[in-house]
Amino acid sequence: MWDERWLARAVLEFTDTLGSRFDEDEFAERLSRRSGELTGVGCTGVALAAPKGELRFAGASEPAGRMLHAVQVRYGQGPTLTCYRSGRTVHVGDLTLLTSRWPAFAAAVGGAGFRGVHAVPLRRHDVGVGAVSLYLREGPELTARTAGALEALAAAAAVGILQRRSRRHHEVLARQLQEALDRRIVVEQAKGMLAERLCVDPQEAFERLRAHARRYRRTVHGLAAAIVDTPAGPDLHGLTAPNPIPCAVCG
């Protein structure tokens, strides 16, 4: 039986995701296990939102959890999908009610020996990242206290996932910006070298660089890197054409 100290430790566990090692599927497996420990439900499953918004299976305490998620995805119906899309907890404790609402899913649930389902959204404010589903066998209903604790745990897990995804997004942006800056620096270096070598202004040097790259189907950055890496200058036909602009250095 869980208590407030157990819940506090679990909340900390799922919000602390800023370490160097993090794997979403391993995170989902742990969340599935903790949800089972909290509620006493044997079969639990976690689904997470993929980049394009579709809900993918991420972890379950029993193989049946994977199967029931697959059924929902196949038929486009079920409590996990409804919970994720609406952002609200879905509880159906009677197989008859499941049958009238989601017939294909209800058939799979009944065939696997379950009588109902309880799904909680992984959501923070208006951003949903998935859902936790409990597949109920015969036994006592979830108490309001336990259901509330599960929602708190799910909210903590949502925060953990969102802050990790945000950090990964910013790391990718930072890397892309640095790569763009590095490419720009190389191009600027090549412009300066060409301007000096050909006695042209930097804009004319860049135009010749770009035209040459286009003519020989090369990238501007690739050509610029070749120029910078070969100070004596590669054989650049078209770049060494006479310049009509008088050069103050060459006369």
**C-alpha 212 chain-centroid distance:** 40
Quote the pLDDT of residue 232: 57
Quote the pLDDT of residue 132: 96
Specify the pTM. Answer: 0.70
Quote the pLDDT of residue 237: 46
> Where do we find the tokens 């930072």?
174
Quote the pLDDT of residue 233: 53
Strand partners, 118: 91, 134
Quote the pLDDT of residue 231: 59
Which residues are within 8 A (CB) of 44 and not within 5 positions of it... i.e. 6 or more apart? Answer: 32, 33, 35, 36, 60, 61, 62, 65, 132, 133, 134, 135
Would you list the DSSP string of 140-203?
A: PPPPHHHHHHHHHHHHHHHHHHHHHHHHHHHHHHHHHHHHHHHHHHHHHHHHHHHHHHHT--HH
Q: What is the pLDDT along the chain (251 residues), one digit of tens a residue?
A: 788 899 999 999 998 887 768 888 999 999 999 999 999 998 999 999 987 778 899 999 999 999 999 999 999 989 999 999 999 999 998 888 888 889 999 999 999 999 899 999 999 888 899 999 999 988 778 899 999 999 999 999 999 999 888 777 777 778 878 888 888 898 888 888 888 888 888 888 888 888 888 888 888 888 888 888 875 555 554 565 444 444 444 44
Could you count the other beta carbons within 10 Å of the beta carbon of residue 52?
A: 5
At 136, give phi and psi (nearest 5°): -95, 130
Structure tokens at 210: 């770009």
Structure tokens at 249: 């250095």
Strand partners, 133: 45, 119
